[in-house]
Amino acid sequence: MSQPSPEVYERGKGMDAHNQVMREIRAKKDKQYDPHEPTRVWLDEDNTPDGVVQSLTIILNTGGCRWARAGGCTMCGYVAESVEGGSVTHDALMDQIDVCLEHEAENADEPADLIKIYTSGSFLDEREVGAKTRKAIAETFADRERIVVESLPDFVEREKIADFTDEEISTDVAIGLETATDRVRHDCVNKYFDFADFEAACAEARDADIEASGCDVGVKAYLLMKPPFLSESEAIDDMVSSVRRCAGVDGCHTVSMNPTNVQRYTMVDDLFFGGGYRPPWLWSVAAVLERTADIDAIIVSDPVGHGSDRGPHNCGECDDRVQKAIKDFDKRQDPSVFEQVSCECETTWEYVVEAETSYGMPLTR
Ligand code: SF4
Ligand SMILES: [Zn+2]
């Protein structure tokens, strides 16, 4: 892959120290990727404003996130999945879409109602996906009900969303906000934008919704539970307040709260290796979902790598059961699913929540 380097766009965002470290870590990765193959594609079910539907999730290989090239977020290993040179042509991107459609035709009984496109960056950044490709993808999926496209807030504009709504596809913009707390987003995640930028993107989506006919437009906020440098209890509190603040923004109908997992070639990985990071407990995920169940928005969580040392985990005995309860909650939004799971390790978790503190230098010797 190309060497990550700071560009004009990324300069002056006040995060040069984090970026310097991240660039050094990322430079260790040298795997190559084929621009004609998507990074990943899979079939699943998802809870949407129209209910639970079949979904096709596509991770397009677009050359990667420009913020990641500057250094990027402390937990994000996505840039490691980017292609050489930093951009992918229209034809290659459409080849990737064809591979995904073939995968669906071979593995599903019928076309999925919901298409989700992630790019290891921003689908709405025209340096990753040009206007021509965006329109062609909208036409390809004109027969589907709903599409989710991922983007940083800077690139969310109603004209871009109109490519999809003109085809009468309901459109959700997935924004990796990570947390509603600016200080945690800047200092723990190393993500450069503010909550106010997220609110502005939601306002763009709302305007696009007003202009759309026969379909709707909304925002799905992605939150990150327990970035590095937070204790377990700080992470829980940060998520509870973030879920509430996101759900309170007009236009944001879904909050997806996802626990950090330890990806290779990241700062989190370095900290993990040195004994300075533990992914959150699944009990903590359940606690946040329980404490925010009264909110009038869809709140979901999809713990990746659950039960492993590098993923959110409990004691090893109960992880599958708690994960299943979380997935049940995603579909039914009923917090009583958590009353049906228990384990001895809850006592340990309670102690961790009470006693764990963030790293601090001693004040005296
Ligand atoms: S989390 Fe998103 S913004 Fe941050 S480096 Fe990864 S792809 Fe870029
Ligand atoms: Zn347990």
Residue with the smallest CA separation from ligand 1 atom 7 is 121
Mind listing the pLDDT tens digit for each residue in 162-220?
A: 999 999 999 999 999 999 999 999 999 999 899 999 999 999 999 999 999 999 999 99
Residue with the smallest CA separation from ligand 1 atom 4 is 73
76 lines ligand 1 (CB under 6 A): yes
Report the pLDDT value the prediction gives residue 62, as an integer from 0 to 100: 87
Q: For residue 191, which atom of ligand 1 is closest to its CA?
A: 4
What spacing in Å lies between the alpha carbon of 72 and ligand 1's midpoint?
Answer: 6
Average pLDDT score over residue span 314-335: 96
CA distance 312 to 193: 26
Q: 365 exposed, middle or buried (CB, 10 Å; 0-12, 13-18, 19+)?
A: exposed
67 lines ligand 1 (CB under 6 A): yes
**Average pLDDT along the chain:** 91
What spacing in Å lies between the alpha carbon of 243 and ligand 1's midpoint?
Answer: 20
Mind listing the pLDDT tens digit for each residue in 71-124?
A: 889 999 876 555 555 689 999 999 999 999 999 999 999 999 999 999 878 999
Residue 304 has pLDDT above 70, yes or no: yes
Average pLDDT score over residue span 148-156: 95
Mind listing the pLDDT tens digit for each residue in 14-23?
A: 678 888 887 7
120 lines ligand 1 (CB under 6 A): yes
Residue 6 has pLDDT above 60, yes or no: no
Report the pLDDT value the prediction gives residue 13, as an integer from 0 to 100: 61
Mind listing the pLDDT tens digit for each residue in 264-302?
A: 989 999 999 999 999 999 999 999 999 999 999 999 999
Percent of the chain with pLDDT over 70: 92
72 lines ligand 1 (CB under 6 A): yes
Best residue for ligand 1 mutational test, from 76, 120, 258, 265 (most atoms within 8 Å of Cβ):
76
71 lines ligand 1 (CB under 6 A): no
Best residue for ligand 1 mutational test, from 23, 73, 192 (most atoms within 8 Å of Cβ):
73
133 lines ligand 1 (CB under 6 A): no
Mind listing the pLDDT tens digit for each residue in 247-261?
A: 999 999 999 999 999
Report the pLDDT value the prediction gives residue 188, as an integer from 0 to 100: 96
CA distance 72 to 90: 26
**Model-wide pTM > 0.85:** yes
Report the pLDDT value the prediction gives residue 8, as an integer from 0 to 100: 47
2 neighbors 23 (Cβ within 8 angstroms): no
122 lines ligand 1 (CB under 6 A): no
Tell me the pLDDT band of 222, cut-offs 50, 70 and 90.
very high
SS (H, E, C) 258-306: EECCCCCCCHHHHHHHCCCCCCCCHHHHHHHHHHCCCCCCEEECCCCCC
Instruction: For 47-66, give the DSSP string.
Output: EETTEEEEEEEEE---S--H
Give the residue, 25 or 219, on which the prediction is more confident.
219
224 lines ligand 1 (CB under 6 A): no
Give the residue, 223 or 31, on which the prediction is more confident.
223
DSSP 105: H
Report the pLDDT value the prediction gives residue 3, as an integer from 0 to 100: 43
Report the pLDDT value the prediction gives residue 58, as an integer from 0 to 100: 96
Percent of the chain with pLDDT over 90: 77
